[in-house]
Copies of this chain bind each other. A is one copy, B any other.
Amino acid sequence: MIMFNCDYNEGCCQEIMDEMIRTNMEQHPGYSEDGITAEAKALVKKACEREDVDVHIMVGGTQTNMTVISAGLRPYQGVVAPATGHIARHETGAIEAHGHKVLALPETDGKISAEQIERFCADHYRDESFEHIVQPGMVYISSPTELGTVYKRAEIEAIRKVCDKYHLYLFLDGARLGYGLACDENDLSIPFLARVCDVFYIGGTKQGALMGEAVVIANDDLKKDFRYLIKQNGGMFAKGRLLGLQFKVLMQNGLYMKYSRHAIAMAKKIVAGFAEAGIPRYSNSPTNQQFFVMEDGMALKLAENYGFSTEGWTDDTHRIVRFCTSWATKEENVEKLLADIKKLA
């Protein structure tokens, strides 16, 4: 079985493994107060081209999302998000469990626009019974999105303006940030995000680490007492040095982008091969998640040897399938897949 079903099927990249082996029996203080983590944070700040941000390295995405969002909202506020957003759809109500409504807006290719947010907020304050309605307090977007698409610089800047107008925090979920930055469509950068967002994170789990998301807090209001919140949310990792170690490795020598570019190259190869085999794309994702419309019989046949996920159906005999590449995708496996696709098509 060769797996393309997600981007966390393997362990970690060799560089991280080597550093884990090297430092394994060193003694370090717990709870991310160690020297390795300090180095990692310094590297993240450098990547942001800002010394005045706070960096916290957390274990996983859902935990990060719920901690950041509960840091920013008052009890009666909600977070605006695309209906397909991870927090809206795939976190078993973690945000609601923290007391906050996810204010889901209809999405286009996984994205929402400044115009939509503007209209939503304007409507809120125009409503006679606005105090009876959850107040928007934050905007959550991800780039790449759940559908593999990316935001453009101008789109995020426009959202920023609406956030300023309506006093909303802007939070960008970058669980797959590297894959976005490495794609052909990209015009974002880490320093740009550190300027325009109040808070965002650089994903590790899906990008070569065993686990870990590096949260960058740019807005002072969100910095205060953030470690209390991490602990309260069960995210204070005892051996924090491991989180630090992984980002220390990834943030050096261009490793994060090197692995990201590899995933994109593999994804493009899949796109080309599927096109050749006449299998239509479902979205125009430029990143490591690729969606196609596949005839059921072919999908079942292919599933005998390949892992991929079914995301829905377009009609009675055709399904939407997702193939992911990652830092770990072997070119030979892609080639096997394309050969088999060719045979089945």
Using a CB–CB distance below 8 Å, which chain A residues touch chain B? Answer: 1-3, 5-6, 8-12, 17, 20-21, 23-30, 59-63, 66-67, 70-71, 74-76, 78, 89-94, 96-102, 128-129, 131-135, 205-206, 210-211, 225, 227-229, 231-239, 241-242, 307, 309-310, 328
Query: Are B232 and A76 in touch, CB under 8 angstroms?
Result: yes
Given the interface pairs A76-B229, A93-B78, the reply to whether A132 lies near B236 with Cβ below 8 Å is yes
Least CB distance from A173 to B in Å reads 14
Query: Are B75 and A229 in touch, CB under 8 angstroms?
Result: yes
Closest residue of chain B to A241, judged by CB?
A: B11
Query: Are B92 and A134 in touch, CB under 8 angstroms?
Result: yes
Closest residue of chain B to A209, judged by CB?
A: B239
Contacts A/B (CB < 8 Å), 21 sampled: A3-B27, A8-B239, A10-B25, A11-B23, A11-B24, A17-B20, A20-B20, A60-B237, A66-B234, A75-B97, A75-B232, A90-B129, A92-B229, A93-B232, A94-B231, A101-B102, A128-B310, A131-B236, A135-B225, A205-B239, A206-B238
Query: Are A131 and B228 in touch, CB under 8 angstroms?
Result: yes
Chain B residues near A9 (CB-CB < 8 A): 27-30
Chain B residues near A74 (CB-CB < 8 A): 225
Closest residue of chain B to A24, judged by CB?
A: B11
Given the interface pairs A27-B1, A133-B89, the reply to whether A309 lies near B128 with Cβ below 8 Å is yes
> Contact partner of A96 among B3, B78, B228, CB < 8 A?
B78
Chain B residues near A28 (CB-CB < 8 A): 9
Given the interface pairs A225-B135, A227-B131, the reply to whether A232 lies near B97 with Cβ below 8 Å is yes
> Contact partner of A238 among B60, B101, B133, CB < 8 A?
B60
